[in-house]
């Protein structure tokens, strides 16, 4: 018999290969295959990196007779997660993360594609030349596919030629900050800069992602005076980034998004609000803009859905991020909005740094560097905290695969569908594990992650990128053969 049924074991390849599965034509099967038409018991046929057929259980035994079959039993086979918001800090700050460790962590967490943010690397990706450096740094060093957002900053917002060169070079869209970013070569943009750039983005039909907070005081300070409050208390930090900062920024943006409607001066442009944390007025403004026909979407992140301000221990600066994690009542409203479709998708906003910058010993929320380190944990975190709300596999695929693919223009990713690239995660929803010192964590600095110490459910068994089995139960392919993605 030529058919090889493999269950629970996949042969290892020599160290020279890019895949842990030595076949370019095979089937993977389970009782739960998540497709755009629902979840079926069946199998997915993969050949030369593409999905070429999907069959129900009663048919795949016949159809797969002359090829290898990997039967995952009761595990879930889903489209690989697409993380549209990650900071890998490469090149220039690889001591913070870097492409190898970051993409290994992504693969171990079921993320098959991520889009790298333009800041925290050095230089920031705000020019054609900087993008070339980014692509060169990624080549041969990424275990999952990586695309790139460019940066919208005052210099290129006011220079159409410079902006066009960046877009022509292949960035998937642009990202801007409406508050100081903390990175010197990535200055903030105003609504006037964004308005200036929208017609160019409309012509290229690529999105603008916006960090939507604006300063409310007149002296440009985000932090209270030292000693004014207890800097080890999270509530002190929370006062420095009130929800009204998000509300004010989004108010400014929706005066611009009306131009994205059919017949508007920026028809074809699209605005995307990243990491929304305010589920009250800010969210209502976005809902109203959508109802009017504006081209606008919004994401939130698992840490806003998992944690609440009241529960953050004094001095635990692992939880510092911007916008901040808000109260438990706000968290419930975020879940409601996500389940009702008012929040379109999820992203990690993986934002690491070296441990010294988090000031873990001092516990000073006002001085510590912000950012949640989370890339490897977004699948189990979303599933663990979402189970009590009754989330489904199909919803996970929508939030983490289908809609992110649409935002980034990845037309052959985001779904288990014939013709698509075989980007797939296989995971066990009922298997729980403790994130402790014995758990294999692949991000560069596990100690700074707010998820360490948690008990999560949803163990990733295998991750396929373009048909290559790049991760299997703690092991990665020996070569990093995934690809940088450029818009062409």
Convert the pLDDT of each residue in 41-77 to its tens digit: 999 999 999 999 999 987 766 665 668 899 999 999 9
- The pLDDT of 302-316, averaged and rounded, is 98
> Is residue 482 assigned to a domain?
no
> Residues 144-167: what's their mean pLDDT?
97
The stretch 168-191 carries a mean pLDDT of 97
**Total of domains in the chain:** 1
Distances (CA, A) of 212 to 13, 125, 133: 47, 20, 28
Q: Specify the pLDDT at position 13.
A: 35
C-alpha angle with apex 373: 371 to 378, nearest 5 degrees? 120
pLDDT digits (tens, 9 = 90+) for 114-133: 999 999 999 999 999 999 99
Residue 67 located in a structural domain? no
The stretch 282-305 carries a mean pLDDT of 97
pTM above 0.85, yes or no: yes
Task: List, edge to edge, every strand of the sheet that includes 345-346.
Answer: 150-151, 174-177, 207-211, 270-273, 296-300, 345-346
- Give buried/exposed letters for 184-202 (b at 16+ CB in 10 A, else e): eebbbbebebbbbbbebbb
Please check the confidence at residue 16 and state whether its pLDDT lies above 50.
no
What was the pLDDT predicted at 3? Answer: 32
Give the residues across from 76 on adjacent strands: 32, 427
**CATH code of 127's domain:** 3.20.20.140
Residue 10 has pLDDT above 50, yes or no: no
Does residue 477 lie in a domain region?
A: no
Task: Return the pLDDT at 58.
Answer: 75
**The pLDDT value given to residue 17:** 82
In a domain, 469, yes or no: no
**Residue 416: inside a domain:** no
Q: Average the pLDDT over each of 125-134, 138-147, 206-215, 228-237 and give the range with the smallest value.
A: 228-237
**Closest by alpha carbon to 432, among 384, 487, 485, 483?**
384
**Which pLDDT score, from 0 to 100, does residue 437 have?**
79
Give residue 372's pLDDT: 98
Residue 423 lies in a domain: no
Q: Which domain holds residue 124?
A: 81-409
Closest of 11, 229, 211 to residue 119, by C-alpha = 211
Residue 161 lies in a domain: yes
Is 56 a member of any domain?
no
- pLDDT tens figures, 247-288: 999 999 999 999 999 999 999 999 999 999 999 999 999 999
């Amino acid at each position: 018999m030529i058919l090889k049924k493999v269950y629970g074991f996949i042969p290892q390849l020599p160290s020279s290969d890019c895949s842990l599965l030595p076949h370019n034509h095979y089937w993977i099967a389970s009782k739960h295959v998540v497709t755009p038409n629902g979840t079926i018991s069946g199998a997915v046929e993969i050949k030369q990196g593409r999905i070429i057929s999907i069959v129900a259980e009663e048919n795949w035994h016949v159809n797969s007779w002359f090829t290898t079959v990997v039967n995952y039993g009761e595990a879930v086979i889903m489209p690989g997660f697409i993380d549209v918001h990650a900071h890998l800090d490469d090149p220039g700050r690889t001591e913070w993360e870097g492409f190898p460790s970051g993409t290994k962590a992504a693969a171990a967490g079921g993320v098959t594609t991520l889009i790298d943010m333009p800041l925290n690397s050095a230089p920031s990706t705000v020019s054609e030349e900087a993008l070339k450096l980014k692509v060169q740094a990624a080549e041969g060093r990424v275990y999952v596919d990586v695309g790139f957002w460019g940066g919208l900053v005052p210099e290129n917002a006011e220079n159409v030629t410079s902006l066009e060169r960046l877009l022509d070079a292949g960035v998937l869209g642009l990202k801007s900050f409406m508050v100081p970013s903390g990175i010197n070569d990535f200055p903030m943009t105003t609504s006037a800069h964004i308005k200036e750039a929208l017609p160019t983005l409309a012509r290229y039909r690529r999105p603008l992602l916006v960090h939507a907070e604006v300063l409310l005081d007149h002296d440009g300070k985000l932090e209270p005076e030292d000693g004014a409050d207890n800097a080890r208390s999270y509530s002190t930090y929370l006062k420095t980034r009130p929800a009204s900062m998000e509300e004010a920024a989004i108010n400014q943006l929706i005066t611009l998004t009306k131009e994205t409607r059919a017949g508007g001066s920026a028809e074809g442009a699209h605005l995307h609000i990243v990491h929304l944390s305010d589920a009250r007025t800010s969210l209502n403004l976005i809902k109203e803009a959508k109802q009017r026909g504006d081209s606008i979407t919004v994401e939130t992140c698992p840490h806003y859905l998992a944690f609440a301000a009241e529960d953050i221990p004094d001095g635990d600066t692992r939880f510092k991020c911007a916008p901040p994690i808000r109260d438990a009542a706000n968290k419930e409203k975020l879940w409601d909005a996500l389940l009702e479709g008012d929040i379109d998708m999820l992203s990690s906003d993986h934002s690491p740094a070296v441990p010294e910058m988090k000031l873990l010993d001092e516990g000073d929320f006002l001085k510590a560097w912000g950012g949640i380190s989370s890339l490897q944990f977004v699948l189990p975190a979303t599933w663990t905290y979402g189970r009590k709300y009754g989330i489904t596999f199909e919803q996970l695929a929508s939030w983490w695969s289908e809609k992110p693919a649409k935002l980034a223009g990845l037309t052959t990713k985001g779904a288990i569908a014939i013709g698509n690239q075989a980007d797939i995660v296989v995971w066990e929803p009922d298997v729980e594990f403790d994130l402790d010192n014995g758990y294999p964590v692949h991000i560069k600095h596990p100690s700074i992650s707010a998820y360490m110490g948690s008990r999560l459910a949803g163990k990733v068994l295998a991750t396929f990128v373009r048909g290559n089995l790049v991760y299997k139960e703690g092991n990665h392919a020996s070569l990093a053969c995934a690809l940088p993605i450029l818009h062409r």
